[in-house]
Chain A
Amino acid sequence: MTQPPIQGAPIVVHSLVRHFGSGDNLVAAVDGVDLVVEQGEIFGFLGPNGAGKSTIVRMLTTLLKPTTGHALVAGYDIVKQADLVRRSIGVALQDSAIDPLMTGTELLELQAVLYGIPRAKMHARASTLLERVGLTAAANRRVITYSGGMRRRLDLALSLIHEPTVLFLDEPTTGLDPMSRLALWEEVRRLNREGTTVFLTTQYLEEADQLADRVAIIDHGRIVRQGVPKELKAKVGAPTLVINVSAPQQDLAKSVLARFGEMRPTDEGSLAVGLIAGATGVAEVVRALDEAQIDLHHLELNEPSLDDVFAEATGHRLEGATPTAEQTVK
């Protein structure tokens, strides 16, 4: 008899820890994570590479056992009821887990068999999903001929074959061109509107900002901030004023800026300050820099972003927070 799930939030994580290695080489990839994802939510899990995002996803999707702690997904324990968790979730991992020698249709049918979907329904379900992700025309082509975006969409279709209630997307848009990224965001929103709870990991601030109802920011295996993006940004308070000056004048410029607010971490070669006076204080800063005979190369005022939240929480900026040309595979 199938055990009934524990009623409540679709994802409940308590003191989750995962170590790799042993002795002197022991690494705590995840170091005591607590979080709750509510029904029907898109939950963004934001952090730099190596912060522990994928390790948490691998634990929650039963691919990896936690060292200590426990978690419930769809009401089932990820260790003791792994099989029931697997039946309830859909997963699209960071690297599209796809056999390049198979066609889109074959992969969907294999996935259907693995999830025990009757053969009578299998073909119709595969066709519907291929249409939904815009791959009908490529359905009978081998995946090796697909572009990066097509593979991601197929991966998403595969994760939906059994109509899961909780969907895990591990960095779903890494390496995608802007058009493919937007198309995938739209599909995620559509799934969410249909009632699917989405757990999304990303290193892109914009993605978390655009999609997530709530976010958790992870760094070095620990959650450093958690909440609604708007509220987290509001807590940072003042907008960030970023300036560029020549290297010999950096120290002097820093001492001037420090009079207008708290210095914030920024890219090398730039200086940033949380401008207490807001936009109205910019003119005064420019005057002060001019009086100090500092040659200003560039100035910009940014409203608080999730990057500021991250910087405020960790003391450093999120590297690769926006996709670069090199990261984007056309």
Chain B
Amino acid sequence: MLTLRAMRGLQRVPATFLPTLAMPIFQAVAFAGTYFAITKIPNFPTDRSINWFISLSGCMGGAFSGLGLGFAAIRDIENGFMDRLRMAPTPRAALLLGPLLSALARTFIVLSTVLVVGYFFGARPTQGLAGIAMFYLAGFGLAIVATGWGLGIAYRFRDMRGAALMQLTLFLVMFTSSAQAPMSMMQGWLLQVARVNPMTNILRLSRQGFLNPPVGGVSWENTWGGLLAIAVLGSLTICFAYRGLRKLER
């Protein structure tokens, strides 16, 4: 029912969802166009620049969908609706599950739209349905992580100050990974950060279906790191959100 409520909110005020949908599409098309020459690098794993950037857009879409639920939680706190939810004899976990399912539904819409628009602009999966499944898996994973992070911040800040922090951390994590260029092209501190940044593994998970082997191609080697990153970050951020929800009582 809470998921349904969130989806109704999208339908009634589509403007709140528009940036989540438009930004990843714009990013995929703009980056692919601006950096089209990236494919000229020797041994670059695809000859289509949009095949490289579409995964970044998918991950960004999943993350924005999750953060959107953080923004919605801030609105609920500010207009008092969160109090109504907290006064209900519902398990506290259900108050997190509703937004989480809603984030996954939003992510599905964003990823599907990115795929369709990406195809129109020349993106071609190289690994069939298995590759597309990995693209969705990474997007859904990031949606879970971002929902936990967004809700946790919302429950602690309780006003729109939290929104800026949510977005800032997302961009920092996203762009200090292999988001824009392969690791082989990076140097200095950025390379060191990208190596340990879990986002690099999630992007690798997402990109398997759009890049050529040996870098691309659906394999356990390209999958496990991303799954582990999602599992660890997802667990941590959901715990962060749960503790934040409890903090509202203190």
Contacts and interface: CB of A to CB of B under 8 A. Distances in A.
A101 B9 contact: yes
Interface in A67-116: 83-84, 86-87, 89, 91, 93, 95-102, 106, 109-111, 113-116
A305 interface: no
A62 interface: yes
A89 B88 CA distance: 10
A181 interface: no
Interface of B: 1-2, 5, 8-9, 12-13, 76, 79-90, 248-250
Contacts of B2: 110
A6 interface: no
B176 to A, nearest CB: 36
A98 B81 contact: yes
B12 A142 contact: yes
B90 A99 contact: no
Contacts of B88: 86, 111, 114-115
B8 A86 contact: no
Contacts of A95: 79-80
A106 B7 CA distance: 13
B12 A96 contact: no
Contacts of A83: 89
Contact of B250 (A65, A87, A91, A116): A65
Given A98-B81, A102-B5, A91 B89 contact: no
Contacts of B81: 97-99
Nearest to A155: B84
Nearest to B75: A99
A275 interface: no
Contacts of B79: 95, 97-100
A182 interface: no
Contact of B80 (A89, A96, A113, A142): A96
A114 B250 contact: no
Contact of A101 (B1, B13, B86, B248): B13
A96 B79 CA distance: 8
Contacts of A126: none
Scoring B84, B85, B249 by chain A CB atoms within 10 A of each residue's CB, the highest score goes to B84
Nearest 6 pairs of A and B residues by beta carbon:
A97-B80, A114-B88, A86-B89, A97-B84, A113-B1, A87-B89
B83 A110 contact: no
B79 to A, nearest CB: 7
A35 interface: no
Contacts of A101: 8-9, 12-13
A89 B89 CA distance: 10
Contact of B1 (A89, A91, A110): A110
Contacts of A61: 87
Contacts of A183: none
A63 interface: yes
A56 to B, nearest CB: 15
Contacts of B82: 97
A62 B76 CA distance: 18
A158 interface: yes
A258 interface: no
A61 B79 CA distance: 18
Contact of A115 (B12, B89, B249): B89
A237 B211 CA distance: 90
Given A100-B79, A113-B1, A158-B84, 19 more contacts: A63-B86, A63-B87, A65-B249, A65-B250, A86-B87, A86-B88, A86-B89, A89-B87, A97-B80, A98-B79, A98-B80, A98-B81, A99-B79, A101-B8, A106-B8, A110-B1, A111-B88, A114-B89, A142-B12
B36 to A, nearest CB: 42
A64 interface: yes
Nearest to B80: A97
A89 B9 CA distance: 28
A254 B139 CA distance: 78
Contacts of A63: 83, 86-87, 248-249
A62 B87 CA distance: 7
A94 B188 CA distance: 56
Contacts of A158: 84
Interface in A16-74: 61-65
Contacts of A64: 249-250
Q: B86, B88, B90: which has the most chain A beta carbons within 10 Å? A: B88
Nearest to A91: B87
Nearest to A95: B80
B83 A97 contact: yes
A3 to B, nearest CB: 14
A95 B84 CA distance: 11
Contacts of B86: 62-63
Given A62-B87, A97-B84, A102 B8 contact: yes
Contacts of A89: 87
Contacts of B85: 114
